[in-house]
Amino acid sequence: MADKQDKKKRWEELAQAELKGKSPAALSAHTAEGIDIAPLYTSADLDGLDHLDSVPGEAPFTRGPRATMYTVRPWTIRQYAGFSTAEETNKFFHKALNAGQKGLSVAFDLATHRGYDSDHARVRGDVGKAGVAIDTVEDMKRLFAGIPLQDMSVSMTMNGAVLPVLAAFIVAGEEQGVSQQQLSGTIQNDILKEFMVRNTYIYPPSPSMRIVSDIIAHTARYMPKFNSISISGYHMQEAGANLVQELAFTMADGLEYLKAARDRGLAVDDFAPRLSFFFCIGMNFFMEAAKLRAARTLWARWMEKLFQPGNQKSLMLRTHCQTSGASLAEQDPYNNVIRTTIEAMAAVLGGTQSLHTNSFDEAIGLPTDFSARIARNTQLILQHESGITDTVDPLAGSYYVENLTAELIEKADKLITEIQDMGGMTDAVLEGFPKREIEKMATARQARIDNGEDVIVGVNKYRPNEDSPVEVLDIDNDAVRAEQTKALDLIRQQRDEKAVEAALDALKEAAKNNSGNLLALSVEAMRARASVGELSAALESVFGRFIGKQETVRDVYRQTYGSGAEIDAVETAFSRFCEETSETPILYMAKLGQDGHDRGAKVISSAFGDFGMDVRVGTLFQTPEEAVLTAMDMGAHIIGVSSLAAGHKTLLPELIQILKEKEAEDILVICGGIIPQQDYQYLYDAGVAAIFGPGTAIPEAATKTLDAATDNLMRMHNYRKDRLSKAAG
């Protein structure tokens, strides 16, 4: 021990000499997780770490869930894909499998996620846009045409409409000749994180948890090769969570699901070995690798503490990972290839079981065949050319990584304990605790990017002199919707309506009386050719449809950003608006369609509020007409629309047309989010005043918005006074 300390002391002396007398401690870094990173770690820093004494394949599985890990079989390349129709996605699946992909992961469109059929009026701009449209069993059969489901592991990211979608998959398998017992794969079925960050929920928390436990019970009994839940931290990090929050909230979600299943009467060893996890892998390379090692350790410890399983496999955390979409930039987009490669390496060095690598163009639009091939080949190159698969857990013993692992275990464990003391994750979610903490972190992170403290190459530093335009996949939303509607009409003509009605009535009765198994009854309904929307509506008639409360954090962005010329410009623009109009600018922040991703909208709302604007955040999932009426009712000067799911070309022109019809053209419309440059002129021509893509600094957006709003109000001052006077009268 003395020798170890002597070595560290010698380094400190050498470093101090290079620093001309300054202490090496000044080189320490402090992370968003509250972890102090030392400039050097030595063997002395391993002393006292209590997670080191394990081997791969043995609890607590710090070094991996399997003894041989990638030396025998590499991780599964499981690319997440889905767009347009089932036929188009099926073609993509076949190409991907022929090019070396080993498993399938299905992305559903937002209409499906939210339990609406493609012909529903609320989903006009969402059908087929950010995933594949699935309305019935027939769509699911077309999705997997020519793909033997007895041999193929299928992952489905579905939570809100999990019952009809999983039931349709089961029936599609049956009609392909594959029994439930033969089906392998994973359904996400993680509703708690939807209430925290992603928002593709349908029903309130309590009945939603009942659905989760019914699926766990059914799959435990009838689907031994199928993972009944994928507990997701991915969307938490994408929403802004730091790595300690992602770890703790994900573990706490998992423990809550276990409690729900136990309360249902299930023995932990009957279902726990089939649970899986899903983590995001961002750009903090070593900490992301350490995070997966910490996750396995935490899960084993908390499982042992709360459930005392008899089967060691119940202690084992197995995970899928996906590289971060939030780390991708619209500016200089080919840099994203490098970012994704770094993140993929962190995932596999951390010991993931399967991996999706994002395409470089996902900050701009939907991936093309070209970008998807690069993303897939990134993994193939890592597997076959890098040497990573030659040894198990190659980062084990790293002074730095082992200390990061220990720090993450300690800090996440403390946060998990805090949630348990609150009564568990359901109570924490209802209180709004995790959502609020994540939004604080997201807002502070954006401020650090905007003031240059956190460098993003090509965005806030080393920006290219000219843009690098890339091809973007564009989905004809109207054509997909028309095709889906035609297929729905045909099924409704051909099916036995009495059988559908009886199956849906049985489902409603079970939901009302807390009897039966909702997944088993959903399978019966889908066999009769009920649609996703009909089944969801049947349950909604009993459970209701949940409406989340929209709140924003305050005094985080401005405090983190500090002062500077950019803030001075915002203050000047704000003062000009107030002086010219004798009013405080009112911004109504709207989310149109079924896109529940609200990180950007919340961060903008929080920051603009810190600048003095009166910001009102609307409920999620509004139609353009609902947004206009709400904005008019509050006397808004500006409507801000956040679009991340490619519905902008349908929903924004419709919103502006309704403003004209309501004689409310004095309300300025701005938008931001994932909008390809090629669509900007289309939106400007439609009447959008300003567009702020990914990477836009918030002070710049605020100044432009205020200046445009001032000019617009001065131009239409008398018009606005007349309209508001009429509305008041």
SS (H, E, C) 278-319: EEEECCCHHHHHHHHHHHHHHHHHHHHHHHCCCCHHHHCCCE
Residue 604 CB contacts under 8 Å (≥ 6 apart), including other chains: 589, 640, 642, 672, 698, 701
Distance, in Å, from the CA atom of 427 to the CA atom of 509, rounded to the nearest integer, reads 27
**Cα 325 to Cα 13: distance, rounded to the nearest angstrom:** 43
Q: Among this protein's residues, is 235 annotated catalytic? A: yes
**Count of beta carbons in the 10 Å neighbourhood of residue 490:** 12
Nearest CA-CA partner of 702 in 596, 575, 579: 575
Q: Give the Cα separation of 117 and 144 in Å (integer).
A: 20
**Bridge partners of residue 319, in order along the sequence:** 277
Which of 51, 113, 120, 235 does the annotation list as catalytic? Answer: 235
Place of tokens 């709003």: 709
Q: Which of 70, 234, 257, 561 is catalytic?
A: 234
Which residue in the list 119, 139, 595, 598 is annotated as catalytic? 595
- Could you give the CA distance from residue 144 to residue 161 in angstroms, rounded to a whole number? 19
> Beta 36-37 vs 638-643: how paired, if at all?
unpaired
- Alpha-carbon torsion 710, 714, 719, 723, what sign? positive
C-alpha distances (whole Å) from 558 to each of 461, 578, 609, 638 are 21, 20, 9, 21
What DSSP assignment string belongs to 508-522?
Answer: HHHHHHT-S-HHHHH
SS3 669: strand
d(Cα 196, Cα 429) in Å, to the nearest integer? 7
Of the residues 120, 291, 591, 704, only one is catalytic, namely 591
Q: Please give the single-letter amino acid code of residue 714.
A: M
> Containing H/E element for 28?
none
291 CA to centre of own chain: 18
Is 234 assigned a catalytic role?
Answer: yes
Peptide bond into 60 cis (omega under 30): yes
Tell me how far apart the 2 most distant CA atoms of the chain are, in Å.
Answer: 86
- Among 141, 356, 597, 649, the one annotated catalytic: 597
Q: Tokens 């564009």 map to which residue?
A: 474
| DSSP assigned state of 698 | H
The percent helix, strand, coil of the chain (3-state, each to 5) is: 55, 10, 35
Cβ atoms within 10 Å, residue 431: 12
Distance CA 673, CA 692 (A): 7
Place of tokens 């202690």: 315
Helices marked H in 223-263 — which ranges?
A: 234-238, 243-263
Interior angle at CA 244, CA 216 and CA 292, nearest 5: 65
Q: Is residue 660 annotated as a catalytic residue, yes or no?
A: no
Rounding to the nearest 10 degrees, give the CA dihedral for residues 8, 13, 18, 22: 100
For the question of residue 95 being annotated catalytic, the response is no
Query: How far, in Å, CA of 729 to CA of 721, rounded?
Result: 12
Q: Is 113 a catalytic residue?
A: no
For this structure, is 41 an active site residue?
Answer: no
* Measured CA angle at 195 (ends 191, 196), to 5 deg: 115
70, 80, 116, 588: which is the annotated catalytic residue?
Answer: 80
Contact 72, 383 (CB under 8 A): no
How many other CB atoms are there within 10 angstroms of residue 236's CB atom?
28
Task: Say how far apart CA 611 and CA 134 lie, in whole Å.
Answer: 43
Distance between CA atoms of residues 387 and 389, nearest Å:
5
The residues that are catalytic are: 80, 234-235, 591, 595, 597
